[in-house]
Structure 1
Amino acid sequence: MENLVYEVEIDAPREKVWDILWNSETYNAWTKFFAPDSSMRTDWQVGGKTYFLDGEGNGMVSTIEQMQKPEILIFKHLGMIKEGKEDLESEEV
């Protein structure tokens, strides 16, 4: 499995960056570049379900593997959502 790691230095307090990234009112401002009308639904629980959706309700099913506000948030992608159905097992996933 390939692991991707990205790092960007931002001159702002950690709490402000966290809020901009994960606040439901600002999330779409930075994700619109890959999926217009994108949204994220989560229970904010480690091991719970998180959904990354496009404007048509398709997207990814994930779980939070690790969370230490406001410094660390690690998602594990489990599968996809197509036409309102979770797909966690197909070869495409």
Structure 2
Amino acid sequence: MKNLVFEQQINANREKVWEVLFTQDAYGKWSSAMNEGTYFEGDWSEASTMKFLDKSNNGMYNVVEKNNFPQQLSMKHLGWIMDGKPEPQDWEDSTVSYFLESNENGTLLTVKVNSLDEFVDFFRTKYPKNLELIKQLSEE
């Protein structure tokens, strides 16, 4: 496991950044850096399951461990979804957390990923692009 940290200063308040992160329309725009056409199913409430799917009904699913609007949202990765069917994985303590901190310049968005070694390159390649898109959408 590797702990990865990504940060982006955004000239917008936390509520606007939160909206970009966790509403369907904006999520589909910034997550395109990972996979074009990605969308989610779920409501982001604590203990709920969130599904992140592509146009072929493949993706992954997580459980929301903490939702503290508009400061933090944390999830644990549980497994893949193939042809719409969950396939649980033993991903140990693989997690992703979003932290939104107000400051004099707007919001500092910090994303912390506890990643399995085989996904480190994916996150290091994709997350900086995600954060740039989140910044653009939040500052519009």
TM-score scaled to structure 2, two decimals? 0.60
Q: Which consecutive unaligned segments of at least 5 residues does structure 1 have?
A: none
SS at match of 1:20: helix
Letter in 1 for 2:46: V
Letter in 2 for 1:2: K
Structure 2 partner of 1:51: 51
Structure scoring higher RCO (CA < 8 A, sep ≥ 6) equals: 2
Cα RMSD, aligned residues only? 1.7
**What is the identity percentage for the equivalent residue pairs of Structure 1 and Structure 2?**
36
Q: Hey, which of these two has a bigger chunk of strand by percent? A: 2
1:4-19 paired onto structure 2 within 5 Å: 4-19=4-19
Letter in 1 for 2:41: R
Question: Distance in 1 between the 2:16 and 2:35 partners?
Answer: 23
Structure 2 partner of 1:86: 86
Q: Which consecutive unaligned segments of at least 5 residues does structure 2 have?
A: 92-140
Letter in 1 for 2:64: I
Question: Distance in 2 between the 1:19 and 1:45 partners?
Answer: 15
Structure 2 partner of 1:33: 33
TM-score scaled to structure 1, two decimals? 0.87
Alpha carbons of structure 1 residues 23 and 43: separation in structure 2 relative to 1, 3 Å:
closer
Q: Hey, which of these two has a bigger chunk of helix by percent? A: 2
